[in-house]
Structures are given as structure tokens and as C-alpha cells.
Amino acid sequence: MTGTTRSSAEIDPRRKRILFRCWHRGIREMDLVLGSFADAEIETLDEAELDELERIMAEEDNDLVKWVTGEKPVPDAFRDGLFPRIAAYRPDFSPLFKDDRA
């Protein structure tokens, strides 16, 4: 099951493939981290950022989780650029907690 809230119908095949892979990682925590980031940012990433995202996605999920949570230091290769943006991204969950009684 995917958690995506966006349609991929209007995006090019590479972005569509990356979006799908971000939501189907194997570890649900990374689905949420990468998938939520991709939902919000996939259309605005340039080609170099897409390349970098694919390099990040090639890393093991267990390592990614530890880097995002701070359990392990982020490798030098990922300290700058896109990874800090991914690690800092916080999705807007407010639609999930909307109070319909108001």
C-alpha cells in the first residue's frame, strides 16, 4: 500500500519511477520519509537532484533510517545537497487530524 497523496499522471516517466520507488522501500519508515519528500518535491527537482536522489535511494534502508534519526553519522558524500533536505522534511499531517466537529 502506498501513502502517496499525489497523482503521477502528469509527470515524466523518470519522476514517476522515482516516486514509486520512494514509496516502496521495504521499510515503512523510509517509505514515509522518502515518499513524503518525493510527493512534495518531485516536480521541482532538477536533473542533478534526481541523480542525487537515486544515489540516496541506492543506499540500504537500515543505514538511511539511522542517518535520518541521527543514530549514525551521515557519510560525507551525503552531508550536503539533497540528503539534509530529505532528513529535515516534515510532511503536513494536519488533514489526517482534522476535527470535523468544528
Return per-residue pLDDT of the chain as tens, 102 residues.
455 566 666 889 999 999 999 999 989 989 999 999 999 999 999 999 999 999 999 999 999 999 999 999 999 999 999 999 999 987 665 655 556 555
pLDDT for position 1: 41
pTM above 0.85, yes or no: no
State phi, psi for 26 to the nearest 5 degrees.
115, -30
